Structures are given as structure tokens and as C-alpha cells.
Amino acid sequence: MLKLEITKRTDSRLLELMKRHYSQPKGFVGRSICYSIEHNNIYYGHIIGGSATLHLPGRTDFFNGIDLNNIVNNIFFHIEKVDDKYPKRNFVTLVLKEWRKKIEIDWLEKYNDKVLGFESLVEMPRTGEVYLRDGWSLVGKTKGQTCKRISGKETGKFTGQRVWDRKNLRPKLVFCRRVHE
């Protein structure tokens, strides 16, 4: 039986997966709820819902102005086969579907915001096939740039003008889904 159980961001299994994941995240910023993925008491991975990204191409039109607090970003999703197989057919899609149902309840309870939609970013050349199978829509593509403030490098006499580090990354596909589609 599939079970999604809330864990901490510091769960040792999650930290190990983050090292192996293609994006190798160093952590998660903002609101988030982490879930371990188990089937018949065997651990397969983690899935995490977090704060919506501030600016995403195509999302505003797709959601028609829904407040960002009502959108959950699938910020991390990593499943690994056990004994070179998944426990059942379409397992990854089933996990995503169950996660959507569970996080709707948990997000409202934890943050007091009703979930009205979901978003996810998929780094190319990946295609986001699992999201398409779960009824998500491809709504845009990022430019592939990141901008991060460099702490301690402020200039200016009074206000401390911020200094930014800009990096070019791979563009990401933007997938969105309304709660009840």
C-alpha cells in the first residue's frame, strides 16, 4: 500500500537523495512540507511541496490571477527503483496524484491557505512526462537564469545597494495544474 508520510527537511534519507538528484539542491527556501514515499513499508524516495516561485512564464495566464499563497510548487520529486523495479505499474504517476490530494489537506492545516493549484519546474532535456500523465499542462519555459543577492557586498552610504550574482543555467519547463481538473 502506498504511504506518504510527513518528514523533516533534515530526514537523513532525503539528504542522501538530494545529493543524487540531478539538480542537487542544497535546501529549500520558504514554506514546505516533505513526504517520504513508501509502498508496503519499503522506502522509494521523497516528494516535497513548497512555496510558489515568484515569477514564472505562463503561470499567471494559466491560473488567471490566483494568489501565490494558494499555489504549491512541487520543488523536489525523487523516486528510485528497489531491486530494479517499482512496486506497481504507473507508480510514479500514482505517487504524484496521492501527493496532490494529501498536500491540499496538510497545506491548509499548516499554513491556513487553501491550495487551488500546483506548479513544477523540470530542467531540460527532461520532458516532464510524469506531469503530463497526471493531467498537468506545459505553460511556459524559463529563460534559464538565476539571480542571487551576494550577502556582505552591499554598497551605498545609507541604504546598502544590493549586489547580485547572475548565472546562466539550463532553461526549465513550467508545468501547472488546477486542483480539481
Q: Which amino acid is at 47?
A: I
Does the residue 46 lie in any domain? Answer: yes
* CA separation, residue 84 to residues 13, 22, 47, 142 (Å): 19, 19, 20, 34
Does the residue 120 lie in any domain? Answer: yes
Does the residue 159 lie in any domain? Answer: no
Half-sphere exposure of residue 55: CA atoms within 13 angstroms, side-chain side? 6
Entry pTM = 0.85
Does the residue 156 lie in any domain? Answer: no
> How far is it, in rounded angstroms, from Cα 86 to Cα 14?
19
* Residue 97 near residue 131 (C-beta atoms within 8 A): no
> Is 161 a residue whose pLDDT tops 90?
no
Does the residue 42 lie in any domain? Answer: yes
* CA separation, residue 120 to residues 17, 23, 105 (Å): 18, 13, 19
> How far is it, in rounded angstroms, from Cα 69 to Cα 63?
12
> How far is it, in rounded angstroms, from Cα 150 to Cα 154?
8
Does the residue 55 lie in any domain? Answer: yes
> Is 153 a residue whose pLDDT tops 70?
no
Does the residue 166 lie in any domain? Answer: no
> How far is it, in rounded angstroms, from Cα 67 to Cα 79?
30
What is the CATH number for 54?
3.40.630.30
Higher per-residue confidence, 70 vs 165? 70
Confidence at 37, pLDDT banded by 50, 70, 90: very high
Domain range for 27: 2-143+172-178
Report how many domains make up the chain. 1
Q: For 72-119, how does the pLDDT look when each residue is reduced to its tens digit (9 = 90+)?
A: 999 999 999 999 999 999 999 999 999 999 999 999 999 999 999 999
- CB count within 10 Å of CB 2 equals 15
Cell of 151: 550577502
Does the residue 151 lie in any domain? Answer: no
